[in-house]
Amino acid sequence: MSMIRDLRAVVRPSSRISLRKESGSYDPTRDPATATAVVDCAVYRDGRRLEPEGGQLTPQDAMRLVRRDGGFVWIGMHEPTEAEFAGIAREFGLHPLAVEDAVQAHQRPKLERYDDSLFTVFKTVHYLDHERLSATSEVVETGEVMCFTGRDFFITVRHGGQGSLRALRHRLQDDPELLAKGPSAVLHAIADHVVDGYIAVADAMQDDIDEVETKVFSPGRKGTPRGTDAGEIYQLKREVLEFKRAVAPLLRPMQLLSERPMRLVDPEIQKYFRDVADHVARVQEQVIGFDELLNSILQANLAQASVAQNEDMRKITSWAAIIAVPTMVCGVYGMNFDYMPETHWKYGYPVIVGVTVALCLGIHRTLKRNGWL
């Protein structure tokens, strides 16, 4: 169908799409004066949003409209409390365990099937721009998007300051034929949107790792590696680990959505989850590679620090060996004995000084030829 042929172009950002800004319905922040966490609530029938005359619908009114005339309702929420979510949970018959996870957040990516709904957890990842990487730099910021998918409803619960779905909702509304496929089309769009964010973060993180690698192996003075602060590498490893926790658990849920027939997922939409799973697998391989590369960079940096310390110790030892010659000579002739060879000789002083300088120069030349100086 024509709806399917350009599916990815619909759910991804495009410069040709003008993002409308409407008042009220699309306000991404919660009004402090209201006791609701609902960001947007809309009914879609035949792929088109129904605009009520009396303003924005309540979840209860939207569900009554769907049960009477058909279509599905899409409710977006941001960090609801247990009390704020309780009424919606009862209205849509959501499982208590899924409701608890959605309210408390801090869940790992997963897919759970209940009698009449699917519960999906996505970790959103946002790259934080920074002028230079340091031992305290934050590279990624994570949030969560929980999705309840039913036969005639779709509920998103978002946690964290990043990962707004407002622009995505607009893009989907610009393709009624896609939205006509129901809640599973929205689930795919969100999955693809989240994974596209992973790809962007992975590319940006690759630049940071390249920068650290260049600093470790770039030559310092006299052609020796200068190295970098090990704290920067440890910090980057921590950020990679946080990124890995978001990506790795998501692969299995995407494979299940693409491989196993599910009555809540449209068959024409299901095959597109395979593409999302492939992208998750690719990002996962990148993240594993980042972790291994940072281990190697850290070991190389520590080895360079050890080599630099050895070089310093060799130089100190070399100069100590050179200084030992005049110290020994002066020590011998500084002893208070009356009968010592050459003590009263006219040329004794210049000869001793000359021999001392010659020995020091010989030792210096030998050490330098052997690379100690």
Least confident of 5-19, 42-56, 229-243, 256-270: 5-19
**pLDDT for 34:** 41
| Structure confidence at residue 10 as a pLDDT band (50, 70, 90) | very low
Q: What is the mean pLDDT of residues 317-327?
A: 81
**pLDDT for 305:** 72
**pLDDT for 106:** 86
| Structure confidence at residue 329 as a pLDDT band (50, 70, 90) | confident
**pLDDT for 6:** 47
220 within 8 A of 281, measured Cβ to Cβ: no
| Residue range 186-235, pLDDT digits in tens | 999 999 999 999 999 999 999 888 888 888 877 655 544 555 677 788 88
**pLDDT for 183:** 93
**pLDDT for 15:** 31
Rounded (10°) angle between helices 183-217 and 273-333 = 20
**pLDDT for 199:** 94
Q: How many CB atoms lie within 10 A of CB 291?
A: 15
Q: Quote the percentage of the chain above a pLDDT of 70.
A: 83
**pLDDT for 35:** 41
Least confident of 113-127, 214-228, 299-313: 214-228
Place of tokens 């920067």: 232
**pLDDT for 33:** 38
| Structure confidence at residue 262 as a pLDDT band (50, 70, 90) | confident
**pLDDT for 339:** 66
**pLDDT for 20:** 29
Q: What is the mean pLDDT of residues 4-15?
A: 43
**pLDDT for 158:** 92
132 within 8 A of 233, measured Cβ to Cβ: no
pTM comes to 0.73
**pLDDT for 136:** 73
Residue 322 has pLDDT above 70, yes or no: yes
What is the 3-state secondary structure of the chain?
CHHHHCHHHHHCCCCCCCCCCCCCCCCCCCCCCCCCCEEEEEEEECCEEECCCCCCCCHHHHHHHHHHHCCEEEEEEECCCHHHHHHHHHHHCCCHHHHHHHHHCCCCCEEEECCCEEEEEEEEEEECCCCCCCCCCCCEEEEEEEEEEECCEEEEEEECCCCCCHHHHHHHHCCHHHHCCCHHHHHHHHHHHHHHHHHHHHHHHHHHHHHHHHHHHCECHHHCECCCCHHHHHHHHHHHHHHHHHHHHHHHHHHHHHHCCCCCCCHHHHCCHHHHHHHHHHHHHHHHHHHHHHHHHHHHHHHHHHHHHHHHHHHHHHHHHHHHHHHHHHHHHCCCCCCCCCCCCCCHHHHHHHHHHHHHHHHHHHHHHCCCC
| Structure confidence at residue 287 as a pLDDT band (50, 70, 90) | very high
Least confident of 42-56, 187-201, 239-253: 42-56
Domains and CATH numbers, the chain: 38-305 (3.30.460.20), 310-370 (1.20.58)
Tokens of 103: 């309210």
Residue 69 has pLDDT above 80, yes or no: yes
